[in-house]
């Protein structure tokens, strides 16, 4: 027999625990947006490490961007995106000493970034954000320009 009071109490407990709006995503839409988040974070990491070093200004700017982007917040992926950014930075930093490892790491990330090609709304967003990171330390290095071109080639 159903206990209406018990069901009501469980429902109230659930809704109190939620405390935020849910946005409905179809699996295809979620996949599309997750590809965007992965591409964006990968692009930010590549731009941060384009000159083969992580500069404080670029890291701070990237972290701030990740926290402010609505698509990441709406998917409740801010912490995941920050962890992914940190992971990419660490992996790229490990590759700096070996040209072969660097090329492989870069190619792998560009391949992941390229998964947003079918979605024309995303490349302009990524382009704007990587330009911001490239200029965040007030020093646009030729290696950063080269990396911007590689990222744009991968996503267009």
- Helix axis angle for 27-48 and 56-68, nearest 10°, is 160
- Residue 75's pLDDT is 84
- What is the DSSP track for 42-108? HHHHHHHTTTSS--HHHHHHHHHHHHH-HHHHHTT-HHHHHHHHHHHHHHHHHHTT-HHHHHHHHHH
Look at the chain and report how many structural domains it folds into.
1
Residues whose CB falls within 8 Å of the CB of residue 106, separated by 6 or more in sequence, listed in order: 46, 92, 95, 150
- Cβ atoms of 71 and 37 closer than 8 Å: yes
Within a domain: 13: no
- Residue 147's pLDDT is 94
pLDDT tens digits for range 105-128? 999 999 999 999 999 999 999 999
Within a domain: 22: no
Residues whose CB falls within 8 Å of the CB of residue 78, separated by 6 or more in sequence, listed in order: 66, 67, 72
- Residue 49's pLDDT is 94
Within a domain: 20: no
Domain of residue 72: give its range.
27-155
- Residue 48's pLDDT is 93
Within a domain: 107: yes
- Residue 19's pLDDT is 44
Within a domain: 12: no
Q: From first to last of its 156 residues, what are the pLDDT tens digits of the chain?
A: 555 566 556 555 554 544 444 444 445 555 888 888 999 999 999 999 999 988 898 999 999 999 999 888 888 889 999 999 999 999 999 999 999 999 999 999 999 999 999 999 999 999 998 998 888 878 788 999 999 999 999 998
Within a domain: 7: no
- Provide the CATH number for the domain around residue 123: 1.10.3680
């Amino acid at each position: 027999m159903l206990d209406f009071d018990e069901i009501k109490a469980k429902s109230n407990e659930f809704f109190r625990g939620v405390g935020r709006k849910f946005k409905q995503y179809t699996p295809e839409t979620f996949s599309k947006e997750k590809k965007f988040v992965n591409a964006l974070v990968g692009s930010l990491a590549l731009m941060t490490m384009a000159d083969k070093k992580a500069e404080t200004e670029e890291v701070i700017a990237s972290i701030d961007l990740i926290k402010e982007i609505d698509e990441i917040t709406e998917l409740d992926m801010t912490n995941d995106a920050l962890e992914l950014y940190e992971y990419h930075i660490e992996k790229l930093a490990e590759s700096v000493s070996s040209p072969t490892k660097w090329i492989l790491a870069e190619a792998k990330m560009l391949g992941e970034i390229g998964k947003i090609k079918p979605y024309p709304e995303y490349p302009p967003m990524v382009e704007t954000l990587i330009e911001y990171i490239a200029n965040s330390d007030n020093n646009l290095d030729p290696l950063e320009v080269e990396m911007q071109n590689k990222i744009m080639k991968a996503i267009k």
